[in-house]
Amino acid sequence: MKEKLAILITTLALAGVAGEVFSSDDDEHRGAAWGKTADVAAVSNEQYRAECASCHLAYPPGLLPAASWEKIMSGLSDHFGDNAELAPDVTKALTAYLVANGADRVNYRRSVKFARSAGNSAPLRITEIPYFRKEHREIPARMIKTNTQVGSLSNCSACHQRAEAGSFSEREITIPGYGRWDD
Amino acid sequence: MKKISIAIMLAGSMLLAGSAGAAAVDELLQTYAGQGAGAADPGAANTLWTREFRPAGADQDRSCATCHTRNLRQTGKHAKTGKPIDAMAPSVNGKRLTDVKHIEKWFGRNCKWTLGRECSPQEKANFLAFIRGS
């Protein structure tokens, strides 16, 4: 019994610590939402995070134009080879959030660059946008594709530790196994 | 002192969450029975867990274990993105099997991706019994 109580208390203590970490994270998100530190708006929708971040980073909506989000959300039964279907009401709510915060609908510095670069196209992948390609073209494959801790350019947060907070500043890049990126 | 009362409240809410989990499974088992499922057979789900399928368009065989591993108490890994997937076993992950909508969503997605079709009510009942006992 004593042992069980000790385990319970330890668990609760750990939960307390986790709570602390999460709340300081929230502060960061709030700061980012004011546009002071973010070059893209931070992810601000908890439902979006809950539904989409089980499998991948909750990509900030300001990385793709609104028309791209419309396309992606209308094809969730084949989502880059995965089945990512949602209940119709959830699909509708998340589409509204993503479209309203698409790169061409907001005024964040880097979102504007993504929107201009995409022009009239509605790419399904962030990695197809010319501006994105230009920003990543100097990085050798050994740091991304064949780096087991990264694997793909789609894995933003592997190197951009504050991706969900909308921060992609070059100073913040750390490539796993290689350290800071300096070009 | 305040900490202790918070601890007691948290412990209480955990117990509630545990019983809510049982409620979610019982509700779904009843739904599946209404759709024609017989008694849940965890052994059948255990076998199906590692059976490999290759649905149209897939370039490799897939099973439940592809992402969730063969051990339900272990953390899994998304086949494509590599993102960790919390353990399936309620004995190590108290959030499992606590939400009817969540369970149905993932049955829908994962049966279609892995088997290339929806799971039958019987298969879903079997999986619930199998995961619940893990």
CA A11-A14-A17 angle, 5° bins: 155
Three-class SS of residue B62?
strand
- Given an 8 Å threshold on Cβ–Cβ distance, is A85 in contact with B109? yes
Rounded to 5 degrees, φ, ψ at A148 are -60, -20
* Site of tokens 């202790």: B4
Q: Tell me which fold the domain B2-132 belongs to.
A: Cytochrome Bc1 Complex; Chain D, domain 2 (1.10.760)
Which range is least confidently modeled, A105-109, B18-22, B106-110? B18-22
What single-letter DSSP state applies at residue A172?
A: G
pLDDT for the residue numbered B22: 82
Establish whether this prediction's ipTM goes over 0.90: no
Q: Which residues contact residue A10 at a Cβ distance below 8 angstroms, ignoring those fewer than 6 apart?
A: none
Question: What burial class does residue B12 get, using C-beta atoms within 10 Å of its C-beta: 0-12 exposed, 13-18 middle, 19+ buried?
Answer: exposed
pLDDT for the residue numbered B44: 98
Nearest to A82 among B82, B85, B113 (CB): B113
Asked whether the predicted pLDDT for residue B13 surpasses 60, the reply is no
Q: Where are the domains of chain A?
A: 35-180
Three-class SS of residue A79?
strand
d(CA B117, CA B134): 25
Residues of B in contact with A77 (CB under 8 A): 112
Question: Where is B124: in which H helix or E strand?
Answer: helix B121-132
pLDDT for the residue numbered B20: 47
- Given an 8 Å threshold on Cβ–Cβ distance, is B81 in contact with A77? no
Q: Where are the domains of chain B?
A: 2-132
Distance between A47 CA and the closest CA of chain B, angstroms: 13
Q: Which residues contact residue A105 at a Cβ distance below 8 angstroms, ignoring those fewer than 6 apart?
A: A66, A99
- Chain B CA closest to residue A85: B109
Three-class SS of residue B105?
helix
Residues for chain A: how many in total?
Answer: 183
Mean pLDDT of B117-125: 98
Rounded to 5 degrees, φ, ψ at A49 are -60, -45
Three-class SS of residue B84?
strand
Rounded to 5 degrees, φ, ψ at A30 are -60, -45
| Mean pLDDT by groups of 10 residues along chain A of 183 residues | 53 44 38 56 96 96 98 97 96 98 96 96 97 96 94 95 91 92 72
- Given an 8 Å threshold on Cβ–Cβ distance, is A54 in contact with B85? yes
Residues of A in contact with B108 (CB under 8 A): 83, 85
* Site of tokens 């274990």: B65
Mean pLDDT of B115-121: 97
pLDDT tens for residues B37-84? Answer: 999 999 999 999 999 999 998 999 999 999 999 999 999 999 999 999
pLDDT for the residue numbered A14: 47
pLDDT for the residue numbered B57: 87
pLDDT for the residue numbered A181: 79
- Chain B CA closest to residue A152: B81
d(CA B124, CA B32): 8
Percent of the residues in chain B that have a pLDDT greater than 90, as a whole number:
82
Q: How confident is the model at residue B117 (pLDDT cuts 50, 70, 90)?
A: very high
